[in-house]
Amino acid sequence: MTAQPGSELSGRELATQIRATTAARAAELAAAGRPPRLAVVTATDDEASASYVRSIASAAARVGVACDVLRTSTANGISATLAQLADDPEVQGVILQTPLPDGAGLADLATAIPPEKDVDGASPASLGRLAAGLPAFPPATAEAVLALLDHYQVELRGRHAVVVGRSVVVGKPAAHLLLDRHATVTICHSRTPDLPAITRQADVLVVATGRASLIGPEHVSPGTTVVDVGTNATPDGLAGDVHPAVAAVAAALTPVPGGVGPVTTALLLRHVVEATAMAG
């Protein structure tokens, strides 16, 4: 499918396609006595997080991936649970849900997830492998950005991709994936002076800041394809990091909700099935 000027790059059709192939592969593995199984470790009462975990569990059920949600409340509890899961041959995929208990760091705790089970690319080993061009599961959100751009046949080779946000879970891995596809990549963050001057140079603009409507029409040039990763709870409902008025300027824009989000969940489950297949 090709992006048309001013078009909305919905993720729903792509997510449906990914779910269909994932369900077929999961059924084959289950028939061969190797049912795919995901474990989600969570240590928070945060309602947004709980809702995300429920959505993963129900999406998993729909594609035939078993999903266990394991609750604990401390960093030690997380470490002990992850250590058990690392050795459990029945579990092929492990996710550590954020937010974490005060003082606990995702990268630190996620070192306990072996790369072959790290289906959301959370451990430093996975990010390091990604940066080194070695096989690894990328964080599903970062991969979803690339999957959407590919789905709409957005050219990356030799184009200028600007990523706003440098988190370990989205911005940095997205930048690595864009670089692997021969884009010229600029990463911006909260200390970048004159953000609009840089983002206006983008052929492809990826925004992952967690700041609702940070990017306005003044940040975007005609011809730019914009991928909005942000999911922000506002009094008016879920909002992206990109103001809706950008649609009038940009060549194409992903919607929130319905853009990166559904593709992310679909890819996460595909990773679990791939991990099961590779577990042999």
Q: Which residues bind ligand NDP (CB under 6 A)?
A: 141, 164-167, 169-171, 188-192, 195, 208-211, 214, 229-232, 260-261, 264
Which residue of this chain has its Cβ atom nearest to ligand NDP in the complex? Answer: 167
What is the smallest separation between the CB atom of 227 and ligand NDP, expressed in angstroms? 10
Helix, strand, coil percentages for the chain (3-state, nearest 5): 45, 15, 40
What is the smallest separation between the CB atom of 266 and ligand NDP, expressed in angstroms? 10
Tell me whether residue 64 or residue 262 sits nearer to ligand NDP (CB atom): 262
DSSP 176: H
Of 118, 122, 172, residue with least CA distance to 145: 172
Tell me whether residue 14 or residue 29 sits nearer to ligand NDP (CB atom): 14
260 near 225, Cβ under 8 Å? no
263 near 147, Cβ under 8 Å? yes
Phi, psi of 234 (to 5 degrees): -125, 165
Tell me whether residue 29 or residue 228 sits nearer to ligand NDP (CB atom): 228
Of 162, 158, 200, residue with least CA distance to 181: 158
CA dihedral 212→216→143→125, nearest 10 degrees, is -70
Tell me whether residue 84 or residue 221 sits nearer to ligand NDP (CB atom): 221
What is the smallest separation between the CB atom of 142 and ligand NDP, expressed in angstroms? 9
DSSP 270: H
Of 26, 92, 32, residue with least CA distance to 62: 26
Tell me whether residue 65 or residue 164 sits nearer to ligand NDP (CB atom): 164
Tell me whether residue 92 or residue 254 sits nearer to ligand NDP (CB atom): 254
* R_g of the chain computed on alpha carbons: 19
Q: Between β-strands 232-234 and 93-96, what pairing exists: parallel, antiparallel or unpaired?
A: unpaired
What is the smallest separation between the CB atom of 253 and ligand NDP, expressed in angstroms? 14
The Cα 42–Cα 52 span in angstroms is 11
What is the smallest separation between the CB atom of 110 and ligand NDP, expressed in angstroms? 14
Tell me whether residue 9 or residue 229 sits nearer to ligand NDP (CB atom): 229
DSSP 259: S
What is the smallest separation between the CB atom of 30 and ligand NDP, expressed in angstroms? 27
Tell me whether residue 2 or residue 234 sits nearer to ligand NDP (CB atom): 234
What is the smallest separation between the CB atom of 79 and ligand NDP, expressed in angstroms? 22
Phi, psi of 138 (to 5 degrees): -75, 155
What is the smallest separation between the CB atom of 80 and ligand NDP, expressed in angstroms? 25
